[in-house]
Amino acid sequence: MRKVLLATCLTSVAALAAGGAWASEELVKMSANPKDWVMPAGDYANTRYSKLNQITAQNVGKLQVAWTFSTGVLRGHEGGPLIVGNMMYVHTPFPNKVYAIDLAQDNKIVWRYEPKQDPNVIPVMCCDTVNRGVAYGDGKIFLHQADDKLVAIDAKTGQHVWTAVNGDPSKGQTGTSAPLVVKDKVLVGTSGGEFGVQCSMTAYDIKSGKQVWKAYSEGPDDQILFDANTTSLGKPVGKDSSLKTWQGDQWKTGGGCTWGWISYDPQLDMVYYGSGNPSTWNPKQRPGDNKWSMTIFARAADTGVAKWVYQMTPHDEWDYDGVNEMILSDQAINGQPRKLLTHFDRNGLAYTLDRTNGELLVAEKYDPKVNWTTGVDMDKNSATYGRPKVVDQYSTDKQGEDVNTKGICPAALGTKDEQPAAYSPDTQLFYVPTNHVCMDYEPFKVSYTAGQPYVGATLSMYPPPGESHMGNFIAWDGKTGKIAWSNKEPFSVWSGALATAGGVVFYGTLEGYLKAVDAKTGKELYKFKTPSGIIGNVTTYENGGKQYVAVLSGVGGWAGIGLAAGLTDPTAGLGAVGGYAALSNYTALGGTLTVFSLPQQ
């Protein structure tokens, strides 16, 4: 299986290099080298899988801290470092510092970059001042700043090369996502769904920073880049498919933000990503399906034109953003080889689709406590094919404004938020960090003012009835839609997972533990408590012939916003402060990179 995957990868690399489609042949070569980690998710398929195997299920219990690095910044540290040859690139939350560290010179800081940003951007950032990572390509580091500027930095010198203005913070547009280099372009989304932004995905020229294409999540066809060939579940979407599902001009403040992860299939030349919640959180104020919020987009890399789309949660009533990563794999289903896309949505459903055409193959709950829906209609002859079956008791729209709908599972932060899962071709399992949290949700009427919060709901969060733990780390079979094994955690698992060829899976906990578990059984093999809660993504690399595992710790993000921002009102942080109040008993603010390795033999 490994040989087949390697051959496929090398074939793709050779084709790209021969065709001259990439601006940086160096990036193509490095992406196939497991010693480096040159993309935010490790590879274009967002698998977060490494072929490195020095660290195994048999010896991982001997891990030791090799070295540490303080970022000098507090608040939530999401994302993880890039490793390009001997250089490591570490990023921080606002003010979005970037450090270049030479791994061959005793981890010397070669350069540091700190953009000058208006601190007024901080209160416009919905759920902490996080940043999910930088990208590399064409000898540059690409940083998506909090003020929604995309910046290119010379990877060797740290000198500024160009800046692209992606959005306007005064209108609520901010930057938290990791860019992705695709061919001769840099792709980046935007945040701002809680401020009524009409959100988009944009491609910039890697050399100059000039805009190549911009695709909105909602609006007229020429803005969302739909054409006559764009389909949904195998059928043409039709003209003005988005406009028909909004009342009047509501689409102009419709949200559908794109602050999650981006995947790319070089053979199909398609990019994949998800859009977030419609604005406002009060569903009574925006009747209709609100397309194309809550949607998986498959777009042509060169033009941005959508090939297919699939809306997971039409007329979202719970803030179940669809921005989580799209993991690409090639597997056989019922004996038939398929090019698959697997997505663990905030709404608590895990989806498997054929990424060539958007055919829906699997849609199942990946937490049994999910109750707002009984499941997705999988009957292709049904008028509601592909739609979730909503339970009236948990419909915040049917209950109405100023009514507190209680016991909805999952909470608004979803069964999984942006913390990325991993996929191992060795086990053909997905390893998923999850939230095990329910909520009460009370919508209220709100008016739109540019640059001001446009939420319209009050929330409270808590574990499912009769249970005390708020997280699970699970192994998922994407072909059957079943949980293979599940490990309970006291708090939500808000760290990105890492799967390795050594048969070990790593993840972090909100209390601050780096944990290693057996890929096949889930048995805990190792844990170490880092200086602060972990919401970063675990990374591995090889340097000097030795495998290392690295993770950023620094509690924050939506789950840790109470600690990060010093909030105490239980309803603050969109309900997270009360739900995670006990977290302060286990960890405190920090900003540290901790790197692990096996002891010298």
pLDDT tens sequence across 474-499: 999 998 999 999 999 999 999 999 99
Work out whether the CA dihedral 483, 487, 492, 493 comes out positive or negative. negative
Enclosing domain of residue 588: 2-597
Q: What is the pLDDT of residue 574?
A: 84
Q: What is the pLDDT of residue 16?
A: 37
Exposed, middle or buried by CB within 10 Å (0-12, 13-18, 19+), for 53? middle
Please name the residues in contact with 412: beta carbons below 8 A apart, sequence gap of 6 or more. Answer: 318, 319, 320, 439, 441, 459, 461, 574, 575
Both tokens of residue 363?
């849609």
pLDDT level of residue 178 (50, 70, 90 thresholds): very high
Q: What mean pLDDT comes out for the span 195-204?
A: 97
pLDDT at 19 over 60: no
| Terminal Cα distance for the chain, rounded | 31
Q: Which residue has the higher pLDDT, 31 or 167?
A: 167
CB 478 within 8 A of CB 304: no
pLDDT tens sequence across 269-311: 999 999 999 999 999 999 999 999 999 999 999 999 999 999 9
Q: What mean pLDDT comes out for the span 423-429?
A: 97
**Mean pLDDT for the chain?**
94
Q: Does residue 236 have a cis bond before it (omega within 30 degrees)?
A: no
Q: What is the DSSP letter of 8?
A: H
Work out the percent of the chain whose per-residue pLDDT is above 90: 89
CB 438 within 8 A of CB 459: no
pLDDT at 1 over 80: no
Q: What is the pLDDT of residue 572?
A: 86
Q: What is the pLDDT of residue 32?
A: 84
Q: What is the pLDDT of residue 587?
A: 95
Q: What is the dihedral of CA 281, 283, 287, 291, to 10 degrees?
A: 50
Q: Is 193 helix (H, G, I), strand (E, B) or coil?
A: helix
Number of domains in the chain: 1
Q: What is the pLDDT of residue 28?
A: 65
Q: What is the pLDDT of residue 22?
A: 55
Please name the residues in contact with 154: beta carbons below 8 A apart, sequence gap of 6 or more. Answer: 139, 140, 141, 160, 161
Please name the residues in contact with 310: beta carbons below 8 A apart, sequence gap of 6 or more. Answer: 232, 233, 295, 296, 351, 353, 358, 360, 386
Q: What mean pLDDT comes out for the span 310-325?
A: 98
Q: What is the pLDDT of residue 560?
A: 87
Q: What is the pLDDT of residue 9?
A: 41
Q: What is the DSSP letter of 130?
A: -
Both tokens of residue 317?
């009533």
pLDDT at 14 over 90: no
Q: What is the pLDDT of residue 349?
A: 98
Please pick, among 221, 319, 345, 367, the residue that the annotation labels catalytic. 319
CB 131 within 8 A of CB 78: yes
Q: What is the DSSP letter of 131?
A: -
pLDDT level of residue 25 (50, 70, 90 thresholds): low
pLDDT tens sequence across 321-376: 999 999 999 999 888 899 999 999 999 999 999 999 999 999 999 999 999 999 99
294: left (phi over 0), alpha (psi -120 to 50) or beta: left
When mean pLDDT is compared across 139-153, 166-180, 352-366, 554-568, the lowest value belongs to: 554-568
CATH classification at residue 539: 2.140.10.10
Q: What is the pLDDT of residue 165?
A: 97
pLDDT at 254 over 60: yes
402 has catalytic annotation: no
Please name the residues in contact with 390: beta carbons below 8 A apart, sequence gap of 6 or more. Answer: 317, 372, 373
